[in-house]
Amino acid sequence: MPELPEVETVRRGLSQEIVGRKVREVRMFRPDLRYPFPDGFAEVIEGREILAVNRRAKFLIVDLGKGGFLGHLGMTGSYRTAPLNEEYRKHDHFALVFDDVQTIYHDPRRFGAVDLYQGDALGHPWLAKLGVEPLGNAFNGEALYEALKGRKTPMKSALLNQHVVAGLGNIYVCEALWQSRISPELPANQITPQQAEVLSHNIRDVLERAIVSGGSTLRDYRNASGGTGYFQHEFHVYDREGEVCKNGCGGNIERIVQSGRSTFYCPRCQSI
């Protein structure tokens, strides 16, 4: 999926396109995504005005006033806002129809999910136990050190855990570790406060730079306008197996597998 920068890019696009519009109809083209649509999904949304589109970690939160719905894009979810006569495509799963346009959710692998919430979205089970928001004020070296302390799992796995830091995914974990010259295999409980300080700074840096570039497009990620991101051209390690390390250390990028996911890193400047 879309990791945090891609979700934030989608959020900004959707905000411009649908906030202030009233949902006339919700069209559903199948009974489920990763999970069945919640009971009354269409009925609850129909007739309501979109007040805001917010984000927590990789979740989009659509505020309808006293509740709304939230969604996760999984690996391949995307929204596009299109004319009312837009022809639906394979893997279009639901559409929010407004007076003059419609916003269509498209998700080939259907790892995405949506649910309704009442009151405060942050109380929803999907959001309640998430770790610190890496672009928020509470995220710093100390917070990161505290979250990692006591975990024996490798740094790569720890940072992918949404209960530790919420919003990182495979790409940006690799990039942030490389930028910090920390080994992805270092047990999380062996990180020093100084390293945590550097890493927290670099996590924020790589996420912010990615957002400026509109996120990364690998295969099918699209922002809310159907466009692609550009940050993939700025990758230092991700998907660069065998290529020279951009730190100038003379090493070459290697690919290893950690908890079933590819990790790209430079064994020379990211040694333990």
Partner DNA sequence: AGAACCACCTGGCAGC
Partner DNA sequence: TGCTGCCAGGTGGTTC
Site residues for DNA per CB under 7 A: 1-3, 6, 34, 57-58, 72, 74-76, 90-91, 108-111, 126, 150-154, 157-158, 160, 162, 168-171, 188, 215-221, 229, 232, 259-262
Angle (CA) 14 17 95, round 5°: 70
Distance from C-alpha of 172 to C-alpha of 256, rounded to nearest angstrom: 16
CB of 14 vs DNA, minimal distance in Å: 18
Catalytic entry in 3, 8, 17, 185: 3
96 vs 171, which CB is nearer to DNA?
Answer: 171
| Least spacing, CB of residue 153 vs DNA, in Å | 3
**Of residues 50 and 184, the one with the C-beta less far from DNA:** 184
Sign of CA dihedral 187, 193, 196, 202: negative
Catalytic residue list contains 152:
no
**If we measure between CA atoms, which residue out of 34, 147, 150 comes closest to residue 93?**
34
Nearest Cα residue to 1 out of 247, 218, 224: 218
Question: Phi, psi (5° rounding) for residue 174?
Answer: -60, -45
Q: How far is the CB of 151 from DNA (least distance, A)?
A: 4
In the 8-state DSSP scheme, what is residue 252? B
Residues 6+ apart with CB under 8 A from 169: 1, 3, 4, 58, 160
Our CB check for DNA shows the closer of 13 and 229 to be: 229
Task: Tell me the closest approach of the beta carbon of residue 152 to DNA, in angstroms.
Answer: 4
How far is 183 from 254, CA to CA, in rounded Å?
A: 12
Q: How far is the CB of 62 from DNA (least distance, A)?
A: 17
> What gap in Å lies between CA 65 and CA 49, rounded to an integer?
8
Catalytic residue (choose from 2, 5, 134, 154)? 2
Active-site pick, 48, 261, 267, 268: 261
**Choice between 184 and 215, CB closer to DNA:** 215
In the complex with DNA, which residue's Cβ is closer, 11 or 98? 11
- Side-chain half-sphere exposure of 199, counting CA atoms within 13 A: 30
Whether 2 sits among the annotated catalytic residues: the reply is yes
Element holding 145 (H helix, E strand): helix 141-148
User: Looking at beta carbons only, is 186 or 188 nearer to DNA?
Assistant: 188
Contact call for residues 222 and 80 (beta carbons, < 8 A): yes
Catalytic residue among 11, 55, 58, 181: 58
Q: Identify whether 90 is a catalytic site residue.
A: no
CB of 9 to DNA, least distance (A): 10
For 32, phi and psi rounded to 5 degrees? -155, 160
* Residues assigned a catalytic role: 2-3, 58, 261
